[in-house]
Amino acid sequence: MLVVEKLEKSFSGGDRPVPVLRGIDLTLDASRTLALTGESGSGKSTLLHLIAGLDAADGGRILIDGDDLAAMDDTRRAALRRGTVGVVFQQFNLIPSLTVAQNIAFQARLAGRNDRDWDARLTERLGLASHTHKYPEQLSGGQQQRVAIGRTLAARPKLVLADEPTGNLDEDTGEQVLDLMLELVAETGAALMMVTHSTRLAARMERRLHLERGEIRC
């Protein structure tokens, strides 16, 4: 599903570029789960952003479902972000002017999917059935994150990238949200790569990779 080879990325740091990712290799098969851990500043979010096609690498390559990200034009990359790859961020990034139901349906519509039964089932499974007409500001943090997960999974992505998806939640709520996310990705056959600072949450994933100063230390 995902192959990352010799990935490199630097950011400009005054007079010379500062390397942030130094030759990352990893693979993730369909239906598998992977935790990415590492100190603050080790490059976890940078790696996730590159895989999501939100930023371009300086070297190496990323294959998603066999397609090289760098070889895609902007339209194809945007389509990939809407359909094949789904991203869940720590900040829920919901659209404040849309209701829960509309937020959940939004991403799927962009991806050209309109499956009301699946949307309804997701809403039910995420415990949001009695909140569908509410707006994000009327929800708790845990509820908002569940909407964000629903919005991502409504498009039935093959690869879910989650950047500290429970980072804004208390431990119990975070655990419940992760349980749901794991159940739902298992149900849809999606692969899940999750950045987390929590060793407890990382232990719930099938594999763990540790980033240290831009390199993988298993």
Ligand X SMILES: Nc1ncnc2c1ncn2[C@@H]1O[C@H](COP(=O)(O)OP(=O)(O)OP(=O)(O)O)[C@@H](O)[C@H]1O
| Helix (H), strand (E) at residue 202 | helix 199-202
Does the protein bind ligand X through residue 46 (CB under 6 A)? yes
Listed ranges 41-49, 68-76, 133-141, 143-151: which one lies at the site for ligand X (CB under 6 A): 41-49
- Residue 195 main-chain phi, psi, to 5 deg: -85, 130
Selected from 42, 84, 144, 198, the binder of ligand X by CB under 6 A is 42
Burial class (CB in 10 A: 0-12, 13-18, 19+), 196: buried
Q: Which residues pair with 19 in a beta bridge?
A: 10
44 near ligand X, rule: CB under 6 A: yes
Give the chain's count of helices (H) and strands (E).
Answer: 7, 10
Residue 38 lies near ligand X (rule: CB under 6 A): yes
Options 20, 154, 191, 201; binder of ligand X; rule CB under 6 A: 20
CB under 6 A: which stretch of 34-42, 103-111, 169-177, 198-206 binds ligand X? 34-42
- Using the minimum distance from each CB to ligand X, give the nearer residue, 14 or 66: 14
Phi/psi of residue 51, each to 5°?
A: -65, -35
Stretch that binds ligand X, among 42-50, 78-86, 103-111, 138-146 (CB under 6 A): 42-50
| Residue nearer to ligand X on the CB measure, 44 or 158 | 44
Binding ligand X (rule: CB under 6 A), the pick from 16, 40, 117, 130 is 40
45 binds ligand X (CB under 6 A): yes
Closest CA to 52 of 21, 83, 19, 31: 83
Binding-site size for ligand X (CB under 6 A) equals 10
CA dihedral (81, 4, 88, 178) in degrees, to 10, reads 140
Q: Interface residues with ligand X (CB under 6 A)? A: 11, 20, 38, 40-46
